[in-house]
Amino acid sequence: MNPKSILIIGGGIQGRCAAYYLVKEGFNVKIIDPKTDDTGASYVNAGYLTPSHIFSIANKGMIKKGLRSMFNSSSPFYLKPSLDLDFIDWLWKFYQSATPGNVERSIPVIRDINILSKDLYTDMHNSMEMGNFQLDESGVLMLYKTNKAGDHEAEVAQRLIADGLAASILNRQQLDQLQPDLNEEVLGAIHYKCDAHTTPTELMPKLKTYLESKGVEFIHEEVIDFRYDGSSIKEVITPQNNYAAEAVVMAAGSWSQGILKKLKLHMPIQAGKGYRIDLYRETPVKYSAIFLEAKCAITPMKGFTRFAGTMELSGINNKVRKERVEAIAKASENHYNNLKITEEEKNAARFGNRPVSPDGLPYIGKSKDFDNLYLATGHAMMGWSLAPATGKLISELLTNKKTSMSIEAFHPDRFR
């Protein structure tokens, strides 16, 4: 029998976008998430929609960077040594996934889901169902200070252009026309006009208000267990209640692996912590920009400018590493003239955990062990960008429709 009610575990962008498409199909939806504030990955991210990001994070370059960074907690990618078994298992799978063949095979899949998702964001925006929200399509500038980084990115751009995506290679003079006030060390940029940006702190509450108006219930409780019978989840359990489950969508981001253990499922995910600094004042930033060497993402959001970045694999914890916040501030000041980030602004930095799978691809689909469990998690660096596509694909699975694209590469059981 087809389910009528869906329980979604996790109210980040994946949970909310799944709910968005599921209510359109007439399902009765509840989102269970203990969080009531605006913290975490779905609020602190850079807001990019990224058809240009075609490479998975699982590649040999990241392994080299990870090994080097183990002794330097201020480097853009920091891997804290740990004997945690899940972490060691994840690292091994990451190492095995990071082959040139896998990277190459994942490129069209990552590109296609990004394009699908950007189109869906555009539909969502144009529908005005949530009123107006920022969807800025001026693109992202990849700024470089070394010819090595510029040449490599130019090759990526050529590849995207050949695939029909809008990108152009800018020398310093052309770049100055778009983004004045750059430090003299910036040599040029690739302008990915195919990319866009949004303001997560604007869209997250708008989505919630919209969903509530459509009858979605937000339950502020923590899922701690399940009752299941053979291949079927019967109840989702919180300290306060047992919820009867017809179908369950797992969208608990970095916490998904721990929760899935209650079902004896092993789905490797590590938290990839990143930070953001927000400046509520005039800044030189006109365009979204990524610093190719320092790996920071800068976004002119609605009402403020966001400086975000760094990837820290150190488990799930609430530790704010000041040296990492400092690194984002310093890199930003070294790219724009007349930019100084104050101590107060740095002290107000926040972090979020990206849910990173070992091959950098999300888990989207149905687990073979449970007939009523759907996965929408593990989106790593692209979870904001890929959320509408993920939600749409989950709704298609639950209504037995042909999916908008092949989801084989995202199979939740691929590491088993």
Residues in touch with ligand FAD (CB under 6 A): 9-15, 32-35, 40-42, 44-48, 50, 222-223, 251-255, 259, 274-276, 297, 308, 352-355, 377, 379, 381-385
By C-beta, is 133 or 187 nearer to ligand FAD?
133
Instruction: For residue 57, give the nearest of 16, 95, 6 by alpha carbon.
Output: 95
Residue 132's Cβ-count burial label (10 Å; 0-12, 13-18, 19+) is exposed
What are the tokens at 10? 């996790």
User: Could you tell me the end-to-end alpha-carbon distance of the chain, in angstroms, rounded to an integer?
Assistant: 28
Which three-class secondary structure state does DSSP give residue 61? helix
User: Which residue number is nearest to ligand FAD in terms of Cβ?
Assistant: 383
Supply the minimum distance, in Å, between the C-beta of residue 87 and ligand FAD: 18
Residue 162's Cβ-count burial label (10 Å; 0-12, 13-18, 19+) is exposed
By C-beta, is 300 or 383 nearer to ligand FAD?
383
Supply the minimum distance, in Å, between the C-beta of residue 147 and ligand FAD: 26
Supply the minimum distance, in Å, between the C-beta of residue 86 and ligand FAD: 16
Supply the minimum distance, in Å, between the C-beta of residue 238 and ligand FAD: 7
DSSP-assigned states of every residue in 218-236: EE-----EEEEETTEEEEE
By C-beta, is 151 or 244 nearer to ligand FAD?
244
Alpha carbons 203 and 17: distance in angstroms, whole number: 11
By C-beta, is 26 or 304 nearer to ligand FAD?
304
Supply the minimum distance, in Å, between the C-beta of residue 172 and ligand FAD: 25
What are the tokens at 88? 């060691």
Question: Please, which residues have CB within 8 angstroms of residue 392's CB and are 6 or more apart in sequence?
Answer: 17, 21, 116, 120, 404
Task: Work out whether the CA dihedral 339, 49, 126, 43 comes out positive or negative.
Answer: negative
Instruction: For residue 65, give the nearest of 52, 75, 53 by alpha carbon.
Output: 75
Supply the minimum distance, in Å, between the C-beta of residue 40 and ligand FAD: 5
By C-beta, is 41 or 175 nearer to ligand FAD?
41
By C-beta, is 357 or 372 nearer to ligand FAD?
357
By C-beta, is 238 or 404 nearer to ligand FAD?
238
Supply the minimum distance, in Å, between the C-beta of residue 64 and ligand FAD: 22
